[in-house]
Amino acid sequence: MRRGGGHRLPVCPKCSLSIISRENQEDTMIKKMAETIGVGLLVLSGTAQAAFQWNLPTPVTRIASEIYDLHLIMMVIILAVFVAVFGVMFYSIYAHRRSVGHKAAHFHENTTVEIVWTIIPLIILVGMAWPATSTLLALKDASSADLTIKATGYQWKWGYDYLKGEGEGISFLSNLATPQEQITGSAPKGEHYLLEVDNQLVVPVNKKIRILATANDVIHSWMVPAFGVKQDAIPGFVRDTWFRAEKEGVYRGQCAELCGKDHGFMPIVVEVVSPEKYTAWVDEQKKKMNAAADDPNKKWNLVELKARGEKVYAANCVSCHQAGGQGVKGAFPALDGSKLANGPRGRHIEIVLNGKQGTAMAPFGKLLSDTDIAAVITHERNAWSNKTGDVIQPSEIKSARK
């Protein structure tokens, strides 16, 4: 619904002219009323412009459309019951009032009626649950998938590994792409505010995609409403779900299980493309991955490592330890001037690799390459007021992993 012409009343110009020319009080009143209504309509059309979404999103998988229909059928039944039951209640409120002189009857039991209103709802309820059963069976059947992708929930991003099928071996992290300025309000919010990522999941259309959901730290949940998919990602366990998208396009969802501070900031974006486009994407990814692989024997210098480390820090560390390394008092420790970042490097490497039990500090060893970890530690030990001058080589991380 775009902006309607509601603010201007469909008044014939001749008539309105004649109204004005007469200029008696009554007409001025009419005019004022018309203006008020016009303004009212303008407000209404203004809000109608906004995205009021009243129902589930348009489904693009068979499961999602079955769910859509199930919900619709249930709503119809429920509304019918609602109207019947409250029709009776409001009639009674209207007719059986003392103020209209109604005298109270004295009945208080009727076994037949009791049995009837136990049995009928039972039938209706089973009638509602029955069609849901077949949908549920289909929804839980993740067998014979064309493509298997592992989705790993991290605090607070998603990681994707293409495990089986075309594109096997592709692996990347998917971070929120909305800039901080938009969130704090110092920049205008974009169209896909909070629902945009740096690397989106790409899958081919009309193929059965099996998602293996797991997590690295706490429970997350992988949700894409248009697919009718929501699967909790549980640390230490792998649970599966699946979808077969029938329409190309970009579909957006969010983490659906409270997972700490940035729970609201780890969206899921899935791009469904044609098979040809998908093949092209796979090739491109493979090339990129080969190019990105670092020579393990390369000796890095401080400047190179710091530059790379700053980027790694911005993608992984900044949401807790903050841009200035000052942390958040009482919740996330500071790195700037901290004992850890200025003390022995072995301890620093160990914490970054293995995380800290019982805190939000994740074991980044599972998440980042040796070079990235070496870079980010080098950055942390030489940024802000930290001036250790330490240069951590990837080889050092490699040996620390053992």
Contact call for residues 253 and 241 (beta carbons, < 8 A): no
Q: Enumerate the β-bridge partners of residue 257.
A: none
Q: How many residues contact other proteins, by CB under 8 A?
A: 105
CB half-sphere exposure, 206, CA atoms < 13 A? 3
Considering only residues 119-148, where is the footprint of other proteins by CB under 8 A?
121-122, 125-126, 128-129, 132-133, 135-137, 139-140
Q: How far is CA 87 from the centre of its chain?
A: 40
Which of 18, 36, 47, 274 forms a contact with other proteins (CB under 8 A)?
47
Q: Based on CB atoms, which residue is closest to other proteins, 12 or 95?
A: 95
Q: Based on CB atoms, which residue is closest to other proteins, 106 or 402?
A: 106
State how far the Cα of 330 lies from the Cα of 328, in Å rounded to an integer. Answer: 6
Whole-number Cα distances in Å, 132 to 124, 125, 222, 240: 13, 11, 22, 20
Q: Based on CB atoms, which residue is closest to other proteins, 14 or 108?
A: 108
* Contacting range for other proteins; rule: CB under 8 A; set: 13-21, 44-52, 161-169, 376-384: 44-52
* Contacting range for other proteins; rule: CB under 8 A; set: 13-21, 110-118, 280-288, 379-387: 110-118
Residue 237 lies near other proteins (rule: CB under 8 A): yes
State how far the Cα of 329 lies from the Cα of 326, in Å rounded to an integer. Answer: 8
Considering only residues 267-326, where is the footprint of other proteins by CB under 8 A?
none
Q: Based on CB atoms, which residue is closest to other proteins, 217 or 372?
A: 217
Q: Based on CB atoms, which residue is closest to other proteins, 38 or 264?
A: 264
Which of 146, 168, 262, 304 forms a contact with other proteins (CB under 8 A)?
262
Which residue type, as a one-letter code, is found at position 54? W
Q: 210 Cβ partners below 8 Å, 6+ apart?
A: 142, 145, 147, 148, 149, 240, 241, 242
Q: Based on CB atoms, which residue is closest to other proteins, 107 or 295?
A: 107
Which of 9, 44, 76, 258 forms a contact with other proteins (CB under 8 A)?
258
306-340 exposure pattern, b = at least 16 Cβ within 10 A, e = fewer: bebbbebbebbbebbbeeebbbeeeebbbbbebeb
Residue 218 lies near other proteins (rule: CB under 8 A): yes
